[in-house]
Amino acid sequence: MNGMEKITARMKDDAARSIEELNEQTERELQRLREESAARAEKEREAAAERARLAAQERYERLCSAAEMETRKMALAARQEVLGETYVRALEILCSMPREDYLALLIKLLRAAGGKGDEAIALSAKDRDAIGQALVERANRELNAHYTLAASAADIRAGLVLVGPECDVNCSFETLLALSRERTERALLSLGSKDLEQIVEEQGGAELSCQFCDKVQTFTADELRAMIADLKARGK
C-alpha cells in the first residue's frame, strides 16, 4: 500500500469513527429527550390525577353539604308538622271548654294582661253574643274594674283582645298558644338530643304545663323524635 492509499484508508477510518461517534451522540440525545418527555408526561399525568382527585373531593363535599341541608329541612318540616298538629288539637280543646271554665280563664287573662281596668274587651263574634255582657260584669266585679264590651267583634277564634286608647293586648287563644308552644319547644330543644332520647325511652313522651291556662301540653314520642332528628342534623 503506497502513501496515498494509506492516507485514504486513514481518512475512511476517521470518517467511520466520526460517523459512529455522531450516531452514538445522536442516540444519547434521543434517549435523553425520550426520558425527559416521559418524565414530563408522568408529571402531567400526576397533576391531572391530582386535579381530578381535588375536583372529586370538592364535588363529594358539596353533595354531603347538600344532603345534610336537605336532611335538616326534612327534619324541620317533620317537626313543624307534628307541632302544628299539637297546636290544632290544643286550640280545639280550649275552644270546647265548659262555659264557667271558659269565663274563669278569660278573667285570668284579663288579670294577667295588666291593663288599667277601663279598656274595652273585644271577643269573637260568637263569644260576644254568648258571654260578652256576662264576662264584662263578672270581670268588673271580681277585678274591681270598669271594663266595657267593645262595639265590634275581634277577628279571633277564642280568647279576647283588650282594646286600650294607646295599644291593644292580644290575648286570643291563637296568639297565646303560639307563644306558649314556641317557649315549650325551645325548652325541650335546650335539653339536647341525648336527654330527649332518654325521655322517649323512659316516658314515651313529655308533658309540660301551659303558663297561661294551666293546661298540660303533651308531646308524643313522634313529636320528640322529630325534634331529636333536627338536633342531630345540627350536631347537637
Per-residue pLDDT of 51-107, as tens digits, reads 878 877 888 777 766 666 666 556 555 656 666 676 677 778 778 889 999 999 999
Same fold flag, 1-96+191-236 and 99-174? no
Amino acid sitting at position 14: D
Query: CB–CB of 223/81 below 8 Å?
Result: no
Q: Which three cell numbers stand for residue 127?
A: 263569644
189 pLDDT above the threshold of 90: no
Ranges of each domain in the chain = 1-96+191-236, 99-174
- CATH number given to 1-96+191-236: 3.90.1280.10
Q: In terms of DSSP H, where are the helices of the chain?
A: 3-95, 99-113, 125-143, 173-189, 193-203, 221-233
Contacts of residue 233, defined as CB under 8 A and 6 or more positions apart, other chains included, come to: 68, 71, 72, 75
Q: What is the pTM of this model?
A: 0.47
Q: pLDDT tens digit string along 191-233?
A: 677 777 777 777 776 665 554 445 556 677 787 788 778 777 7
Q: Which comes out higher in pLDDT, residue 168 or 7?
A: 168
Query: CB–CB of 170/191 below 8 Å?
Result: no
Query: CB–CB of 132/149 below 8 Å?
Result: yes
- CATH number given to 99-174: 3.30.2320.30
Specify the pLDDT at position 182: 65
